[in-house]
Amino acid sequence: MNPIVRLALEEDIGTGDVTSAACVPESRIASGRFLAREPLVLAGTDLLPEIYGQPLTLLKHDGEWCAENDVIATIEAPARLLLERERVALNFLQRLSGVATAARKYVEAVAGTGCQVLDTRKTTPGMRVLEKRAVAAGGVTNHRMGLWDAILIKNNHIAAAGGVRAAIAAARAASPLPIEIEVRTRGELREALESSAAHLLLDNLTAAEAREWIEEIGGRAKVELSGGITLENVRAYAEAGADFVSSGAITHSARAVDISFRLEWGA
């Protein structure tokens, strides 16, 4: 079982679901349906069999649009089991589908610009893998999973290394991993280009400023824009000529969507 699922079940059930044990006969079998209560992009369905330890029938899959009242999945099992695990299942589905839905909106906002939307490491502690899978279900491209799979030299690294040139040179000497470097001033930008940096991160610029910087770069490096990028302004940043835009809001500020669980008594 996924450790985060185990933790969530232990956190919620504790020593047992006293309400279900008191009210529901142990032998009673029930069926349940997960329903979308609003339009959404689905994510997290792969966790349901782990949560219940029972087979389910999936009618919708991760990455699919669901309309209001669409049935996502059905399950038949002991009623007590369905009741004690309902909240955990909904917490995961609502959270992860919220991330996937937000991701899809960003992708749709930049459609036709040629700019790719990236996620960030601004994820819920312990849930990064799940949230990044949800991001991908929504159509956004996963960036770094963590600190180990790519080099991203940011302002504090530059300060600690002794400057842009020193940071790039040290990174190249130390690792074959791809290198991206953040530049905050036109001077740092020129240093990075003179050091043949292949991937630049421009942070906290206005869309108009980003366009000017990208014109100066002139295709000599790939450009990612970040900082203050929202659903309302992401297209303006994409149209500035960026190869990539990244937004932490896709994960850290996604609204949990409305999904419900309806129980029906069996024999």
- Cα 179 from Cα 198, distance rounded (Å): 7
Alpha carbon 23 to chain centroid distance? 39
Token representation of residue 236: 């303006």
Query: Would you call 105 a catalytic residue per the annotation?
Result: no
Active site residue 87: yes
132 an active-site residue? Answer: no
Please say if 60 is a catalytic residue: no
Of 64, 203, 239, 258, the catalytic one is 203
- Point out the catalytic residue in the list 121, 154, 172, 184: 154
Quick check: helix, strand or coil at residue 116? strand
Active-site choice (122, 128, 144, 184): 122
- DSSP per position, 30-91: EEEEEEESS-EE---GGGHHHHHSS--EESS-TT-EE-TT-EEEEEEEEHHHHHHHHHHHHH
**Among residues 62, 180, 182, 243, which one is catalytic?**
182
- The DSSP H or E segment spanning 239 is helix 234-239
The residue annotated as part of the active site, out of 28, 33, 37, 87, is 87
Examine the residue annotation and report whether 203 is marked as an active-site residue of this protein: yes
Residues carrying an active site annotation: 87, 122, 154, 182, 203
